[in-house]
Chains A and B, each alone.
Chain A
Amino acid sequence: MSIVMTTRPPEAPSNKVASFKPTLLQTEEHHLCPGCGEPVAIRLVLEVIEELGLAQKNVSIIGHGCYGSFIMTMDVDSTLCLHGRAPAVATGLKRMRPDVAVWTLQGDGDMTSEGLAEILHATARGENITCILLNNGVFGDTGGQMTASSVIGQRTKNTLEGRDATYHGHPIVIGDMVAAMPGSAYVARGSVHNAASIAATRRLIRKGFQRQVEKKGLSLVEILTMCPTGWFVPASGGADYMMESLGKTYPLGEIKDISASE
């Protein structure tokens, strides 16, 4: 084994051992903020889709939020639908194309504020779709306002002294609600705050899509994603802040797996 000298500069450029860009992304570039968790979560979804052999057999229905810009880079058939309506649009498409994996990509503002009716009714009908929720407890795209998922005490631009349950209401824990309904097949909550949570979340996403392939019903994979800009914390502090705030209201783990109980 040759010894790499560290006392002088390398003689040849170093090579990346592997590209980390998923095949289903047209470019690694994105315009989201430093420290954002969404690109990591989206990368996981695309990797899982490819792994499961669904690359030429899936359609994404994308909501409105920062992640929406990935409609320009994700190399899958996509539509960016009206705010909150992704599970409805997915329902129409899935009912007509039952053999295509149909998945939604929504933020917590999109799913729990604007689109609560759509996700709950899609679950009630047991629509065989996979819903990916990127939960950062804030409207990131508009610059940091309260969503229905903002946690108690969370400072946003319209809860300046922190979310107060008596004034702003309580956060909606959508994962638990969906899990409680008979139409859901799989509900889990992951996170992307460190390497271990990223690896674990990948498995949750995989199970979510598998339940759809098995035609078991609706799967919801909620992923806690860092939004340091929307939380007004330094980019490097997003991960710790997230687990101290959102992490306590939204504990990680599988909430329901219909296949495990069979």
Chain B
Amino acid sequence: MPMRLMDGSEAIVEAAIMAGLRFYAGYPMSPATELLEYMAEKLPHHDGVCINAATEIEGVNMALGAAAGGFRAASGSCGQGLALMQEAIAEAALNETPIVIFNMARNQQDYFQATRGGGWGDYRTITLAPKDLHEAVEHAQLAFHLADKYRVPVIFMGDNLLARTQMGTELPDLELEPLPEKDWQLDGTSGGSGMSRQIWTFGCGKTNNPGPGPSLHWERIATKFDAIAEVEARHEQGFVEDAETLVVAFGSGGKFVEHVVREMRADGHKVGYFRPITLWPFPGDALEAASHGCKRVLVFELNAGQMIDDVKLNVLDRKLVKAIGGVSFDESGLNLGPLMDAGVIRERIELAINGASK
């Protein structure tokens, strides 16, 4: 496909539909509104359905229904809307219904929400956090693949910058491994067979075909997430081999940090960068290796300190870990603030380096 100038939201919707998305239900909320608008415009032209849900709760449950029927389905909002979806996200994990949740976040304050979650039960949520639109159109496809592969909910973590910036973008059709047929999908055909299908969080099965029951079912789900954590952690890093200072950031912040680190390298500073691409599973082993021999590990995130917990869990000497981010919004309270700026980030990195040497 040739390169086209598109809104981030439009490109993400195109990529999701290319990946087989056929059902979306959402509720407008800035900056996720355009995602809903493009879904409403485009899905009906691809044998799909987009429903303007009455609430985020209704929308995500509709997506659960479409996904239970065997179709690739999604809902989306910003973190404020995802707050309302927490019960359903946990439910999708516990009853093994693959759905994708788009979080076009206002800022970077949804890290805990995405990686710890607010539903009940022993579940985790694969969370993809692209640094820019080129990566986002790949993640929009990968998200559905991972959701189906593991029968789990997957969060796509974007932000205002990603949603609303126009970029010239190609839409590469990712080559992903083929997945087995969904022999669990509720297509209505197995009634009266004695082996009718069931999707149920308690995993009890039916009289003719008993399931493991809640305790074993939930233990099996937890084990599945452990297995995902082993193989699905993704990250990007640069200049870590001889870095004295490692800067960790995610999403758009990771893109800014990468730029600043390249600039500082050009000026002779021994700085490296590390970006978790999956917020969960957090690429802990890779961070441990990348931070080996560093004098300091700086965490840049536009919040009061969320990802820094995961960084401290994985850098061997947690005393080396320092926050250089902070809460930073624009005047509207709906958008990234002045801290998301290459000049400011460089100042903060330099302050951390020089302050330490004084």
Contacts and interface: CB of A to CB of B under 8 A. Distances in A.
B66 A82 contact: no
Interface string B1-40: 0000000000000000000001101000000000000000
A92 B187 contact: no
B191 A76 contact: yes
A67 to B, nearest CB: 14
Contacts of B190: 56, 76-77
How many chain B residues sit at the interface, stated as a range, is: 35 or more
Contact of B191 (A55, A80, A90): A55
A92 B205 CA distance: 23
Contacts of A121: 53-54, 58
A161 to B, nearest CB: 34
B51 interface: yes
A89 B65 contact: yes
A80 B200 contact: yes
A56 B191 contact: yes
Contacts of A118: 58, 61
B34 to A, nearest CB: 22
Interface in A81-103: 81-82, 85, 88-97, 100-102
Contact of A82 (B25, B91, B199): B91
A96 B49 contact: yes
B208 A26 contact: yes
Contacts of A79: 68, 95, 186, 198-200
A177 B21 CA distance: 35
Interface residues of A, number: 43
A91 B58 CA distance: 10
B191 A93 contact: no
B239 interface: no
B186 A59 contact: yes
Interface in B36-74: 49, 51, 53-55, 57-59, 61-71, 73
Given A85-B58, A118-B61, A56 B192 contact: yes
Contacts of A97: 69, 187-188
A101 B188 contact: yes
A73 B207 contact: yes
A47 interface: no
A100 B51 contact: no
A102 B68 CA distance: 12
B198 A78 contact: yes
20 contacts: A24-B192, A50-B192, A75-B191, A75-B206, A76-B192, A77-B197, A78-B197, A81-B64, A85-B58, A88-B61, A89-B68, A91-B25, A91-B62, A92-B51, A92-B69, A93-B65, A93-B186, A96-B69, A102-B188, A121-B58
Interface of A: 23-24, 26-27, 49-50, 54-59, 61, 71-82, 85, 88-97, 100-102, 117-118, 121, 125
